Structure 1
Amino acid sequence: MEVIRSKNAGACYGVQRALDLALKASEGDGSAFTLGPLIHNPQVVANLEARGVLAVKEPEQATHGAIIIRSHGVTPAVRRSVEARGLPVIDATCPHVARAQKAAATLAEECGYVVVVGEEGHPEVEGLVAYAHEAGAQVHVAETAADLPVDLPEHVGVVVQTTQTRDALDDVLEGIRAQGVAAQVKDTVCTATRQRQQAAAELAGQVDAIVVIGGRNSANTTHLAEICAAECPRTHHIESAAELDSAWFAGCSSVGVTAGASTPDDQIDEVVQRLERM
Structure 2
Amino acid sequence: MEIIVANTAGFCFGVNRAVDSVYKNIQQQPLYTYGPIIHNPQVVEELREKNVIPVHSVDEVNEGTIIIRSHGVAKDVYGAIEEKGLNYIDSTCPYVKRIHKIVDEHSKKGYQVVIVGDRNHPEVQGISGWSNGEAIIIEKPEELEGLNIPKTKPICLVSQTTYREDRFESVLKALKEHHYEVEGFNTICKATSDRQQEAVKISKMVDKMIVIGGRESSNTRKLYEICKNYCKETYHIETIKDLELNKFNSNDKIGITAGASTPARIIKEVITAMNDLENHTNENFEELLNQSFVTLRSGQVVKGTVINVTDSEVSVNLGYKSDGIISKSELSNDSSLNPRDVVKVGDEIEVYIVRVNDSEGIVELSKKRVDAQKGWEIIKKAHEEGTVLTGKVVEAANGGVIAVSNEVRVFIPASLMGSKYTQDLTQFLGKTIEFKVIKIDPKRKRVVGDHKQIYLEETKRKKEEVLNTLQVGQKVKGTVRNITNFGAFIDLGGIDGLVHISQISWNKIQSPEEVLKVGQEVEAIVLDIDKEKEKVSLTLKNEENNPWFKIEEKYPVGAIVKGKVVRMVSFGAFVELEPGVDGLVHISQIANKHVAKPEDELKLGEIIDVKVLDVNKDEKKISLSKKQTEANVSEE
RMSD over aligned CA atoms reads 1.6
Aligned partner of residue 7 in structure 2, secondary structure: coil
2:30, 2:120 → 1: CA distance? 29
The code of the aligned residue for 1:4 comes to I
The code of the aligned residue for 1:146 comes to E
Q: Does 1:98 find its partner at 2:97? A: yes
2:110, 2:167 → 1: CA distance? 22
Equivalent residue in structure 1 for 2:148, among 142, 146, 151: 151
What stretches of structure 1 of length at least 5 have no aligned partner?
Answer: none
**Range with greater deviation from structure 2 (216-225 or 147-156):** 147-156
Aligned to 1:164: 163
Aligned to 1:142: 138
Aligned to 2:24: 24
2:99, 2:122 → 1: CA distance? 13
Please state how far the C-alpha of 1:250 moved relative to its aligned partner. 4.7
The code of the aligned residue for 2:136 comes to H
Aligned to 1:224: 223
1:176, 1:247 → 2: CA distance? 48
Q: Does 1:69 find its partner at 2:68? A: yes
2:211, 2:130 → 1: CA distance? 33
Aligned partner of residue 132 in structure 1, secondary structure: coil
Q: Judge conservation of contact 1:101–1:128 (CA < 8 Å) in 2.
A: yes
Q: Judge conservation of contact 1:165–1:223 (CA < 8 Å) in 2.
A: yes
Deviation sequence 1:247-277 (CA, Å, 0-9, x none)? 3325752111100111111111011111222
Please state how far the C-alpha of 1:175 moved relative to its aligned partner. 2.0
Q: Does 1:212 find its partner at 2:208? A: no
Aligned partner of residue 131 in structure 1, secondary structure: coil
1:140, 1:63 → 2: CA distance? 33
Aligned to 1:43: 42
Aligned to 2:182: 183
Aligned to 2:232: 233
1:111, 1:156 → 2: CA distance? 9
2:249, 2:37 → 1: CA distance? 37
Deviation sequence 1:236-257 (CA, Å, 0-9, x none)? 1111110000233257521111
**Range with greater deviation from structure 2 (53-62 or 107-116):** 107-116
2:64, 2:112 → 1: CA distance? 40
What stretches of structure 2 of length at least 5 have no aligned partner?
Answer: 278-636
Please state how far the C-alpha of 1:150 moved relative to its aligned partner. 4.2
Q: Judge conservation of contact 2:81–2:87 (CA < 8 Å) in 1.
A: no
Q: After the TM superposition, which residues 191-202 of structure 1 pair with which residues of structure 2 at under 5 Å, given as runs? A: 191-202=190-201
2:25, 2:147 → 1: CA distance? 48
1:160, 1:33 → 2: CA distance? 28
- Say if 1:53 and 1:177 are closer, same or farther in 2 by CA, change over 3 A: same
Q: Judge conservation of contact 1:144–1:168 (CA < 8 Å) in 2.
A: yes
The code of the aligned residue for 1:33 comes to Y
**Range with greater deviation from structure 2 (217-226 or 52-61):** 52-61
2:196, 2:99 → 1: CA distance? 19
Deviation sequence 1:166-188 (CA, Å, 0-9, x none)? 11101211221231212101111
Q: Judge conservation of contact 1:25–1:66 (CA < 8 Å) in 2.
A: no
Larger Rg: 2
Q: Judge conservation of contact 2:39–2:214 (CA < 8 Å) in 1.
A: yes
Aligned to 1:15: 15
Please state how far the C-alpha of 1:8 moved relative to its aligned partner. 1.1
Please state how far the C-alpha of 1:158 moved relative to its aligned partner. 0.2
Q: Does 1:268 find its partner at 2:264? A: no
Q: Judge conservation of contact 1:25–1:31 (CA < 8 Å) in 2.
A: no
Aligned to 2:587: none
Please state how far the C-alpha of 1:19 moved relative to its aligned partner. 0.6
- Say if 1:144 and 1:252 are closer, same or farther in 2 by CA, change over 3 A: farther
**Range with greater deviation from structure 2 (88-97 or 57-66):** 57-66
Aligned to 2:520: none
Please state how far the C-alpha of 1:106 moved relative to its aligned partner. 2.1
Aligned to 2:483: none
Question: What is the number of equivalent residue pairs in this alignment?
Answer: 274
2:264, 2:40 → 1: CA distance? 13
Aligned partner of residue 184 in structure 1, secondary structure: strand
Aligned partner of residue 133 in structure 1, secondary structure: coil
2:223, 2:73 → 1: CA distance? 24
2:59, 2:128 → 1: CA distance? 23
Aligned to 1:4: 4
1:150, 1:63 → 2: CA distance? 41
Aligned partner of residue 125 in structure 1, secondary structure: helix
* Higher share in helix: 1
The code of the aligned residue for 1:119 comes to D
Aligned to 1:127: 126
- Say if 1:267 and 1:108 are closer, same or farther in 2 by CA, change over 3 A: same
**Range with greater deviation from structure 2 (108-117 or 92-101):** 108-117
TM-score, structure 1 as length reference:
0.93
Aligned partner of residue 236 in structure 1, secondary structure: strand
Aligned to 2:86: 87
2:251, 2:30 → 1: CA distance? 47
Q: Judge conservation of contact 1:111–1:157 (CA < 8 Å) in 2.
A: no
2:176, 2:52 → 1: CA distance? 46
Q: Judge conservation of contact 1:4–1:255 (CA < 8 Å) in 2.
A: yes
TM-score, structure 2 as length reference:
0.42
Please state how far the C-alpha of 1:78 moved relative to its aligned partner. 1.5
Deviation sequence 1:101-158 (CA, Å, 0-9, x none)? 1111122233521110011121111111111126xxx421111001223433323110
* More relative contact order, 1 or 2 (CA 8 Å, 6+ apart): 1
